Amino acid sequence: MFKLVLVNLFRNKIRTFLTMASVTVALFLFCTLGGVLDTLQESIKVGSESRLVVRNKISLVQWIPMAYRQRIQSVPGVKLVAVQNWFGGQDPNDKRGFFAQFAVDEPYMAIYGKDFEIVQHSDAQAGVAVPEGVDPKLAAFYLERTACVVGQKLLVKKGWKIGQTITIAGTIFPGDWPMTIRAVYHAKNKSFGEEVLFFHYKYLSEKGLGGQEPVGTYVLELSDPSQASRVIQAIDSQFENAAPATLTETEQAFSAGFVSMYGNVPFVLRVIGLAIVFSILLIAANTMMTAIRERTSEFGVLKTLGFSDGAVFRMVVTEAAIITLGGGLLGALGAKFLVDGSAMTSGFLPPMSVYWSTVITGIIIAVVIGAISGLIPALQASRLRIVDALRRVD
Amino acid sequence: MAIPLAYNLRSVLNRPMSTATTALGIGLTVAIYIGALALAAGFKASLVSTGDPDNILLLRKGADSEISSGISLEHSNIIKANPAVAVGPDGRPRASTEMVIVVNKPRLGQTGSSNVMLRGVDAAAADLRGGLTIVAGRMFTPGTDEVIVAKRIAGRFANCNVGDKLRFEQRDFTVVGQFTASGSAFESEIWGDANVLMPALNRTGFYQTLVFRPKDPKQFAQIKKELESDPRLQVDVKHEREFYADQSQAFTTLITVVGTFITVIMAIGALFGAANTMYATIGARTREIATLLVLGFTPFAVMLSFMMESVLLALIGGLVGCILSLPMNGITSSTTNFQSFSEMAFQFKITPPIMVQALVFSALLGVIGGFFPALKAARQTLSRSLRA
The predicted-structure confidence for B325-354, as pLDDT tens digits, reads as follows 999 888 888 888 877 888 888 888 899 999
The region, left, alpha or beta by phi > 0 then psi within -120 to 50, assigned to residue B330 is left
Query: In the predicted model, is pLDDT for residue B292 greater than 90?
Result: no
Closest residue on chain B to A259 (Cα): B112
Percent of chain A with pLDDT over 70: 95
Interface of B with A in 198-217 (CB under 8 A): 201-202
Those residues whose C-beta lies under 8 Å from the C-beta of residue A393, and which sit 6 or more positions away, are: none
pLDDT higher at A362 or B131: A362
Rounded average pLDDT over B139-155:
92
pLDDT score recorded for residue B360 = 94
Buried/exposed B268-307: b ≥16 CB within 10 Å, e otherwise:
bbbbbbbbbbbbbbbbbbbeebbebbeeebeeebbbbbbb
Q: Do A256 and B112 touch (CB under 8 A)?
A: yes
pLDDT score recorded for residue B51 = 81
Residues of A within 8 A of B167 (CB-CB) are none
Q: Rounded to an integer, what distance in angstroms lies between the CA atom of residue B3 and that of residue B378?
A: 13
Percent of chain B with pLDDT over 90: 39
Lowest-confidence region among A279-283, B30-34, B287-291, B375-379? A279-283
The mean of the pLDDT values for chain A is: 85
Residues of A within 8 A of B254 (CB-CB) are 345-346
pLDDT score recorded for residue A287 = 76
Q: Rounded to an integer, what distance in angstroms lies between the CA atom of residue B185 and that of residue A109?
A: 40
pLDDT score recorded for residue A348 = 55
- Work out the pLDDT band at B46, boundaries 50, 70, 90: confident
Q: Which of A175, A244, A276 sits opposite B202 (nearest CB)?
A: A244
Convert the pLDDT of each residue in A40-97 to its tens digit. Answer: 877 777 667 789 999 998 888 888 999 999 999 999 999 999 999 999 888 888 877 7
pLDDT score recorded for residue B275 = 85
- The answer to whether the CB of B143 falls within 8 A of the CB of B195 is yes
pLDDT score recorded for residue A16 = 86
Convert the pLDDT of each residue in A92-129 to its tens digit. Answer: 888 777 888 999 998 999 998 888 999 988 887 766 77
pLDDT score recorded for residue A146 = 93
Min Cα–Cα distance to chain B from A125, Å: 35
Lowest-confidence region among A163-167, A287-291, B33-37, B359-363? A287-291
Q: Rounded to an integer, what distance in angstroms lies between the CA atom of residue B199 and that of residue A274?
A: 50
Query: Which helix (H) or strand (E) covers residue A298, if one does?
Result: helix A296-304
Q: Is the dihedral of CA A56, A61, A62, A67 positive or negative?
A: positive
Q: Do A58 and B265 touch (CB under 8 A)?
A: no
- The answer to whether the CB of A166 falls within 8 A of the CB of A197 is no
Query: In the predicted model, is pLDDT for residue B190 greater than 90?
Result: yes
Those residues whose C-beta lies under 8 Å from the C-beta of residue B201, and which sit 6 or more positions away, are: A58, A62, B99, B101, B118, B168, B169
Min Cα–Cα distance to chain B from A185, Å: 26
- Work out the pLDDT band at B388, boundaries 50, 70, 90: low
Q: Do A29 and B262 touch (CB under 8 A)?
A: yes
Rounded average pLDDT over A208-224:
86
Q: Is the peptide bond before B353 cis (omega within 30 degrees of 0)?
A: no
pLDDT score recorded for residue A66 = 92
Q: Do B114 and A19 touch (CB under 8 A)?
A: no
Closest residue on chain A to B63 (Cα): A171
- Work out the pLDDT band at A23, boundaries 50, 70, 90: confident
What is each CA distance from B369 to A12, A336, B112, B306, in whole angstroms? 18, 28, 45, 11
Query: In the predicted model, is pLDDT for residue A347 greater than 80?
Result: no
A294-308, A364-378, B152-166: range with highest mean pLDDT? B152-166
CA A218 to chain centroid: 25
pLDDT score recorded for residue A47 = 67
Rounded average pLDDT over B80-84:
92
- Work out the pLDDT band at B381, boundaries 50, 70, 90: confident
Q: Rounded to an integer, what distance in angstroms lies between the CA atom of residue B388 and that of residue B379?
A: 15
- Work out the pLDDT band at B284, boundaries 50, 70, 90: confident
| DSSP type of residue B214 | B
Residues of B within 8 A of A60 (CB-CB) are 102, 104, 115, 341
| DSSP type of residue B188 | G
User: Which residue type occupies A131?
Assistant: P
Strands (E) in chain A, as ranges, are 51-56, 64-65, 78-86, 100-104, 116-121, 147-151, 165-169, 176-187, 196-200, 214-215, 217-222, 246-250
Q: Do B280 and A262 touch (CB under 8 A)?
A: no
Min Cα–Cα distance to chain A from B1, Å: 29
Q: Do A29 and B279 touch (CB under 8 A)?
A: no
- Work out the pLDDT band at B204, boundaries 50, 70, 90: confident
Min Cα–Cα distance to chain A from B22, Å: 7
**Could you give the angle at which helices A309-339 and A265-294 cross, rounded to 10 degrees?**
140
The mean of the pLDDT values for chain B is: 88
Residues of B within 8 A of A256 (CB-CB) are 112
Q: Which of B262, B276, B341 sits opposite A272 (nearest CB)?
A: B262
Q: Rounded to an integer, what distance in angstroms lies between the CA atom of residue A52 and that of residue A63?
A: 17
**Could you give the angle at which helices A309-339 and A356-383 cross, rounded to 10 degrees?**
160
DSSP string, B332-359: EEEEEETTTTEEEEEE----HHHHHHHH
| Most B CBs within 10 Å, among A11, A16, A18, to test the B interface | A18
Min Cα–Cα distance to chain A from B123, Å: 25
Convert the pLDDT of each residue in A280-339 to its tens digit. Answer: 777 777 777 777 777 778 888 888 888 888 888 888 888 888 888 888 999 899 888 888
Q: Do A345 and B270 touch (CB under 8 A)?
A: no
Min Cα–Cα distance to chain B from A190, Å: 22
| Most B CBs within 10 Å, among A31, A172, A270, A296, to test the B interface | A172
pLDDT higher at A350 or B320: B320
Lowest-confidence region among A129-138, A346-355, B176-185, B278-287? A346-355
Q: Which of A21, A263, A347 sits opposite B272 (nearest CB)?
A: A21
Percent of chain A with pLDDT over 90: 27
Q: Rounded to an integer, what distance in angstroms lies between the CA atom of residue B344 and that of residue B254?
A: 15
- The answer to whether the CB of B66 falls within 8 A of the CB of B189 is no
Q: Rounded to an integer, what distance in angstroms lies between the CA atom of residue A241 and that of residue B299?
A: 86
* pTM, 2 dp: 0.81
CA A349 to chain centroid: 7
Q: Do A172 and B68 touch (CB under 8 A)?
A: yes
Query: In the predicted model, is pLDDT for residue B269 greater than 90?
Result: no
Min Cα–Cα distance to chain A from B327, Å: 14
Rounded average pLDDT over A200-221:
88
- The answer to whether the CB of B221 falls within 8 A of the CB of B237 is no
Query: In the predicted model, is pLDDT for residue A344 greater than 60?
Result: no
Query: In the predicted model, is pLDDT for residue A394 greater than 80?
Result: no
| Most A CBs within 10 Å, among B116, B272, B316, to test the A interface | B272
Q: Say whether B192 sits in a helix, a strand or coil.
A: strand
Lowest-confidence region among A146-160, A240-254, B307-321? A240-254
Convert the pLDDT of each residue in B5-16 to its tens digit. Answer: 888 888 888 878
Min Cα–Cα distance to chain A from B239, Å: 19
Min Cα–Cα distance to chain A from B336, Å: 5
ipTM attached to this prediction: 0.77
Q: Which of B102, B269, B334 sits opposite A25 (nearest CB)?
A: B269
pLDDT score recorded for residue A33 = 86
Q: Which of B169, B275, B284 sits opposite A58 (nearest CB)?
A: B169
Convert the pLDDT of each residue in B233-266 to its tens digit. Answer: 889 999 998 898 888 887 788 778 888 888 888 8
Q: Do A174 and B102 touch (CB under 8 A)?
A: no
Query: In the predicted model, is pLDDT for residue A210 greater than 80?
Result: no
- Work out the pLDDT band at A349, boundaries 50, 70, 90: low
Confirm or reject contact between B357 and chain A (CB < 8 A). no
pLDDT score recorded for residue A186 = 93
| Most B CBs within 10 Å, among A43, A239, A286, to test the B interface | A286
Residues of A within 8 A of B64 (CB-CB) are 88, 90, 171
